[in-house]
Structure 1
Amino acid sequence: MSTPESIVLMAAYNASMNQKLYAAAAQLPHAELVADRKAFFGSILGTLNHLLAADSIWLRRFATHPAGFSALAPLLELPMPSGLTQSFGDDLPSLLAHRQRLDAIITQWAPQVGAADLAHTFEYHSMKGDPYRKHFGSVVLHFFNHQTHHRGQASTLLSQAGVDIGVTDLLVMVPEIEA
């Protein structure tokens, strides 16, 4: 079950892991970043682009929540991505700039999410227009899980290219409880 505290933790984890991922990717030349590695989204940049597209889509959907999360308002000024493979640039600096904007928005949004917001029945449409009604807290869990899943793919692609991004476990960010 999602809690407001877990959303804040996941937002911090997301931003931290994205920093590590982009720093690792910056160690490779452009040709390595765009090389087709037979991954689901082709290349390392293709995978990073997908994460940007999916995050943008979900955050725009979250902006329609009746809570009216003020941190998400800037997203409503941007066009909705046309799909899950929309390109946000063909070079790492372009993607990084967009990633940092999104991560700042996510980090500002997370503490705005309350328990009542998470319990809300959330209605949205798929990119194909299919309607859905789901528990908002579960959809937010999917949002963060999706990021982790594809960062894991990008981490593997980087590892195969000889770049280690280091420890990626969420557990590192879980606070210790004092006895």
Structure 2
Amino acid sequence: MNRIEHLGLLARYNQWMNAKLYQATMQLPDEQIALDRQAFFGSILGTLNHLLAGDTIWLKRFTQHPAHHPALAPLQQVATPQDLRSLLYPEIRSLWQQRQWLDQLILDFTHALTDSDLDTVLHYSNTQGIAAERSFYALLVHFFNHQTHHRGQATTLLFQAGVDVGGTDLLALIPSTL
């Protein structure tokens, strides 16, 4: 599997896991979804909002890539989150709608990438406005790893609330070579 195929796999995994996570979350009453569970982002809702905010911030940074990927153009209509802790969507159904839209955008973006895109250094500013530059490929790997990390936290919170998300392993999406 080459780098482009690997990123495509991670984008499909992101979409698959988010669908499972939101379906599990929506089994709970709204009060339970918003309940402060003493997690890093407080509640299940806070954790899912953090994921959306982080993804949006990174994708908006990716628009600065010299290739100016057309798949990311719709992000021009989306405000950049000012805070990684704020509730961009205070109720789960509107958050889920935005999540589905963003996950499709991520898929479209990864399908449009070329190997030469990955070898670029991306220049961007972090949330404190400090200039940074990193390997674009390494940033994409971080982007997907960040999602996995916080989805793990959300699945734990759901399990503690009595909801089992089911299997979460990337292995489920890796094609067999047999």
Fold agreement, TM-score > 0.5: yes
With normalisation by structure 2, the TM-score equals: 0.97
Q: Secondary structure at the match of 2:123?
A: strand
Contact 1:88 / 1:98 at 8 angstroms: preserved in 2?
no
Per the alignment, residue 139 of structure 1 pairs with 139
Aligned length: 178
Contact 2:65 / 2:122 at 8 angstroms: preserved in 1?
yes
Per the alignment, residue 39 of structure 1 pairs with 39
1:172 aligns with 2:172: yes
Q: Structure 1: 5+ residue runs without aligned partners?
A: none
Letter in 1 for 2:5: E
CA distance in 2, matches of 1:89, 1:62: 23
With normalisation by structure 1, the TM-score equals: 0.97
The C-alpha deviation readout for 1:109-159, integer Å capped at 9, x for no partner, is: 111111111111111110101111110000000000000000000000000
Task: Map 1:80-119; keep pairs closer than 5 Å.
Answer: 80-119=80-119
Letter in 1 for 2:162: G
Shift of 1:68: 1.3
The C-alpha deviation readout for 1:54-102, integer Å capped at 9, x for no partner, is: 0000000111111111110000222211121232211110110110110
Contact 2:24 / 2:164 at 8 angstroms: preserved in 1?
yes
CA distance in 1, matches of 2:70, 2:153: 32
Please report the RMSD computed on the Cα atoms of aligned residues, expressed in angstroms: 1.2
Letter in 2 for 1:49: N
In percent, how many aligned pairs have the same letter?
49
Letter in 2 for 1:75: L
CA distance in 1, matches of 2:88, 2:94: 7
Q: Structure 2: 5+ residue runs without aligned partners?
A: none
CA distance in 2, matches of 1:85, 1:53: 8
